[in-house]
A = this chain, B = another copy of it.
Amino acid sequence: MQVEIITIGDEILIGQIVDTNSAWMAQQLNMRGFSVKQISSVSDSEQHILNALSEAASRASIVLITGGLGPTKDDITKKTLCKYFNTHLIFNDEVYSDIERLFKDRGYQVSAVNRSQAELPANCMALRNAVGTAAGMWFNVDGVIYVSMPGVPYEMMHLMESSILPMLSQHFNAPHIIHHTLLTQGIGESILAEKIHDWEEALPEGIKLAYLPSVSAVRLRLSGSGEDKEKLTNEFDAQLLKLKALVGKYCYGENNDTLELVLGQLLGGQNKTLATAESCTGGQIASSMTKVPGCSNYFKGGVIAYSNEVKVNQLNVSQSDLDAYGAVSKPVVESMAKGVIKLLNVDYAIATSGVAGPDGGSVEKPVGTVWIAVASRTEVYAQQFLFGKHRERNIQAATLTALNLMRRMLQGTLDVADYVVK
């Protein structure tokens, strides 16, 4: 089933905002078996919107429209939809009571301009919006479904998830579709592809795999589609189990997990505490850990040891190691991890020291060289990595790699080659 997306509003056309809505909508639609034919961004101009609507309806059976539903004069979507469908606005009591409640929660009276947001085209079904004042609108005209929704991302997402996507699946009797994503770190896309090649080749019809690579991580999305829900689910679960076994220790989580969330759950579950000793990552590991609400239960803090002086004075790194091996070295990063465990009295620690770039590289230690250590109170493991030439990407890659090594230490799946038992 073909879909067209129309985004209305000058903000996108002047480049003031990037249209992230369309990509999110396209993903969600694809995951439910709908495909997007065209995305058009048009200005707040009546004639332009009318043309876009009829062009889209000539190519697709579903037209999703975002934007132009605010209470100000620029926002002309509703009036234009009335003109397009040759109808008029009528006042919707249910939508008005939603608006009243929203204003009441914020301690305000509904203003006249906001009252007008309860007026909707006579031929639409209102889609109640629990998180904003603009209702969604569902039109079914001449075999085409048109849906108009606000452009504010979280309002659009709320309406898509709570009503529009389920209604579309039902209306078009879409096949049953399942998705599951495995999140991997520490293995490149091509090696991963080799590892799972035979399994992938043998996938039954209706089940397929997509590789979604990003900086220092690859997501594997398994998708299944079929008429018979039970048969599909059984087949899908069996393939997912096989894939999990193949990916093994490289898989850190599933679907919407993040490394900091998984690590937090492991630490919390084991009732253990963590600290960080960061040089080249400059606080980004700690910053990731503290993105998670409630992290104070397991994350005690850290030392950002950007200068060698801080490494020596706070973390008890030996000056002779610094002189002999340099700051970017195994003994130094191991001492940093051990030092912060002692200093902050925690169970586990992560330490980094590297050449983030763009300057500071040498023949021996080029830009992108990073030593990472993870340690418990009794063991320390350190490994050298060579990332790339780009400073921010190096910091990002070192951060993810360090978090993932810590996860593997907690799960007992670290490689033993380079292990030091204290």
Contact of A282 among B16, B287, B309 (CB under 8 A): B287
| Assembled-state Cα–Cα distance A310/B277 (Å) | 14
Q: What's the least CB distance linking A27 to chain B, in Å?
A: 3
| Assembled-state Cα–Cα distance A25/B18 (Å) | 11
Chain B residues within an 8 Å CB radius of A282: 286-287, 289-291, 295, 299
Q: Which residue of B lies closest to A52 (CB)?
A: B38
Contact A12 B23 (CB under 8 A): yes
Chain B residues within an 8 Å CB radius of A42: 37-38
Counting CB contacts under 8 A, is A314 at the interface? Answer: yes
Per the CB 8 Å criterion, the residue count for chain A at the interface is 70
Chain B residues within an 8 Å CB radius of A13: 26, 35-39
- What is the count of identical protomers in the complex? 2
Counting CB contacts under 8 A, is A41 at the interface? Answer: yes
Q: Which residue of B lies closest to A19 (CB)?
A: B19
0/1 string, A143-171, CB within 8 A of B gives 1: 00000000000000000000000000000
Counting CB contacts under 8 A, is A215 at the interface? Answer: no
Q: Which residue of B lies closest to A391 (CB)?
A: B293
Contact B20 A25 (CB under 8 A): no
| Assembled-state Cα–Cα distance A357/B286 (Å) | 17
Contact A15 B30 (CB under 8 A): yes
A252-301 residues with Cβ-Cβ distance < 8 A to B are: 276, 278, 281-287, 289-291, 293-296, 299-301
Contact B343 A314 (CB under 8 A): yes
| Assembled-state Cα–Cα distance A23/B303 (Å) | 39
Query: Which positions in A face B, CB cutoff 8 Å?
Result: 12-20, 22-30, 35-43, 48, 52, 55, 212, 276, 278, 281-287, 289-291, 293-296, 299-307, 309-310, 313-314, 343-345, 356-359, 391-392, 395
